[in-house]
Amino acid sequence: MRKIIELKNISKAFDGETVLDHISLDIYDNEFITLLGPSGCGKTTTLRIIAGFEQPDEGDVLFLGEDIASLPPHKRNVNTVFQRYALFPHLNVFENIAFPLREKHVPHEEINGKVEEMLKLVALTGFEKRSVTSLSGGQQQRVAIARALVGHPKVLLLDEPLAALDLKLRKDMQQELKGIQKATGITFVFVTHDQEEALSMSDTVVVMSEGKIQQIGTPIDIYNEPQNAFVADFIGESNILNGVMIEDQKVRFSGHVFDCVDGGFGKNEAVDVVVRPEDVDIVPEEKGHLRGVVSSVTFLGVHYEIIVDINNFKWMIQTTDFVDVDEHIGLYIEPDAIHIMKKSKYSGMFGDYSSFSNEFDELSDAEAVEDESL
């Protein structure tokens, strides 16, 4: 696979505040790559640097091997789908899509054909003369995509394009976007803070936090082998505990020594241990590796989400078995359910569910702030 875009050691600060801190990233041909992270992690800035709306303070942006750091947006073979679509309200659907073609002085006959083709791709045939303001959110989204694709860019940048849609529509559009990407073979660089969206659509996920790339990998890698507590917590639910690696395949946490599949750490090295909630089995108290008291139970349809108090550490466990609050239960953990990570600056910040609801609030607050700042 060919590298289309290379970001090398990019840094960027706004008013003295570092937004990107020496990030490097390769983007390949025909890839669906997602930049995932909470608000303020620098994902949108990265996208804007690729599009040319921002200049990096440091580092190089290569496009097919050539430095494009100083190339203005209109000269880059890269198009963007904006968060709120940015459709031109004074132009109708047809003219919005034809906009880049007219800018390039494409002959009239050709424009008709190309626009029709795009409308077909996004299933909006017959909407040519409609005013864009009269369209629904989903339809506007499709027009924005068609407009960005009509010039056949090498790369399509999508800045949280689904954020404004409702849940059902979002799911449909996820599939559709994936389909369009497959059909056109264009590289999609997708920005989102929704980890589920990232996992379900992407070939490659780039997890970012505080201006740094935390991990790059396939969705499965990212989920199963998070590299630090931040990634583990941000992608799915995780119980993250302090542990000590006694030797390869032997780890101690919560006062118990477990068998595991990881190795390569120093003897008695302090580590972070990740156990996914769905990987814990509930067994009678005496049969478990660990014992605890159920402090809350929430019914979520597919399964129950229960919080278990073990030595003052709150575990989250997802189970289809029903247990009662205050019941004493045992937990059983298979060796391959235990994932060992090196200690990082994020250690100890995540993975305890004692303040579950609070943390949730914080997350949604952060999103609200992000929305305002954009």
Candidate residues 6, 8, 11, 99; the one interacting with other proteins per rule CB under 8 A: 99
Q: How far is the CB of 308 from other proteins (least distance, A)?
A: 42
- Based on the shown chain and the rule CB under 8 A, indicate whether residue 304 belongs to the binding site for other proteins: no
- Per CB under 8 A, contacts with other proteins among 126-155 are 129-131, 134, 147-148, 151
Task: Report the candidate in 50, 59, 119, 53 with the shortest Cα–Cα distance to residue 78.
Answer: 50
Among 8, 21, 22, 82, binds other proteins (CB under 8 A): 82
Tokens representing 136?
A: 């629904």
SS3 135: coil
Query: Which residue in the set 84, 256, 303, 342 belongs to the binding site for other proteins (CB under 8 A)?
Result: 84
Measured from the CB atom, the residue of 88 and 322 that comes closer to other proteins is 88
Pairwise CA distance, residues 145 & 253, whole Å: 49
Give the one residue of 39, 44, 80, 202 binding other proteins; rule: CB under 8 A: 80
Determine the interface stretch with other proteins among 100-108, 161-169, 306-314, 352-360 (rule: CB under 8 A): 100-108
Helix, strand, or coil (residue 313): strand
DSSP assigned state of 139? H
Residue 102-131 contact track with other proteins, rule CB under 8 A, x = bound: -xx------------------------xxx
Distance of alpha carbon 68 from alpha carbon 62, whole angstroms = 6
* Residue 65 CA: distances (Å) to CA of 3, 60, 71, 352: 8, 11, 14, 45
Scan residues 57-76 and list those touching other proteins (CB under 8 A). Answer: 72-74
Strands (E), 101-203: 155-159, 187-192
Interacting span for other proteins (CB under 8 A) from 52-60, 234-242, 292-300, 349-357: 52-60
Least spacing, CB of residue 58 vs other proteins, in Å: 14
- Rounded Cα distance, 317 and 101, in Å: 54
Nearer to other proteins, 104 or 168 (CB): 104
Of the candidate spans 1-9, 53-61, 209-217, 355-363, the one that interacts with other proteins by CB under 8 A turns out to be: 53-61
Q: Tell me if 214 contacts other proteins by CB under 8 A.
A: no
Q: Is 328 in the site for other proteins (CB under 8 A)?
A: no
Residue located via tokens 């800035």: 45
Strand order in the sheet with 212-217: 78-81, 155-159, 187-192, 32-36, 204-209, 212-217
User: Are 190 and 160 spatial neighbours (Cβ–Cβ below 8 Å)?
Assistant: no
CB nearer other proteins, residue 47 or residue 280: 47
Strand ranges of the sheet holding 338-342, from the earlier edge strand across to the other edge: 256-259, 250-253, 239-247, 269-275, 338-342
Which one, 90 or 345, has the nearer CB to other proteins?
Answer: 90
Residue 140 in contact with residue 83, Cβ under 8 Å? no
Residues that bind other proteins (CB under 8 A): 51-55, 72-74, 78-80, 82-84, 86-90, 92, 99-100, 103-104, 129-131, 134, 147-148, 151
